[in-house]
Amino acid sequence: TQLLEQSPQFLSIQEGENLTVYCNSSSVFSSLQWYRQEPGEGPVLLVTVVTGGEVKKLKRLTFQFGDARKDSSLHITAAQPGDTGLYLCAGGLKGETSGSRLTFGEGTQLTVNP
Amino acid sequence: DTGVSQNPRHKITKRGQNVTFRCDPISEHNRLYWYRQTLGQGPEFLTYFQNEAQLEKSRLLSDRFSAERPKGSFSTLEIQRTEQGDSAMYLCASSFFSLAGGLYNEQFFGPGTRLTVL
């Protein structure tokens, strides 16, 4: 059983469209990160959220942490081919030692077609 | 470039051989993590160090796996008697941990070592 469930698993859209990726859990997280990973490379950190209800924006990307700190979403506005990649959510479980392991979701593979 | 580096980037070995991977973290980071990622999955935690002390090992980590960080800088991950099921991307990450940092647990990943066991 995955502690972090991401949906959808695969998403193929046209350039200029908007999209939202979801990351859900029945567990509470102290913090949650979003990463983007390209084939054959390691994940690259996009954002960290720690406060329930927190919203962070990074250019065309908007990240939200749920009020109960059990879920998060990533919204991309006007997607571009350069946004193509595997989007991973990961978090530190509440109750685990701070700064220890990250628990990852399975990822959402996004393809933006020109 | 002062990011996390990993060597080698690719390793092909025969079943039963031993392999060793190296990770050089970001220089000021005191914590170093190893994860394993198979195709279509997110990374899975293996172990982590604070300075030279190994603080946690996953139950996924069999006795054939051992990791060290002898001087609190670079780390090595050794797999003995490799099996085909060990084929995966092995990722290293580092972070700077301090109690003052609060709940942030920002880990920065290297490019990974792709292991193929034939």
Q: Mutation test of the interface with chain B: which of A21, A100, A108, A109, choosing the one with the most B Cβ atoms within 10 A?
A: A100
CA dihedral B92, A84, B39, B15 (to 10 degrees): -60
Residue A3 pLDDT grade (very low, low, confident, very high; cuts 50, 70, 90): confident
Rounded to 10 degrees, what is the CA torsion of B65, B97, B109, B14? -10
* Chain A touched by B12 (CB under 8 Å): no
- At residue B60, the pLDDT reads 79
Supply the pLDDT for residue B49.
95
User: Is the model's pLDDT at B101 over the cut of 70?
Assistant: no
Instruction: Collapse the DSSP code of B99 into the 3-class scheme (helix H, G, I; strand E, B; otherwise coil) and give the result.
Output: helix
Residue A41 pLDDT grade (very low, low, confident, very high; cuts 50, 70, 90): very high
**Residue of A33, A44, A106 lying closest to B41 (CB–CB):** A106
Cβ-nearest to A101 among B6, B45, B101: B45
B27-79 per-position pLDDT tens digit: 989 999 999 999 989 999 999 999 999 999 998 788 999 999 998 899 999 99
A65-79 average pLDDT score: 96
In the prediction, which pLDDT does B1 show? Answer: 56
**Taking residues B69-95, what's their average pLDDT?**
96
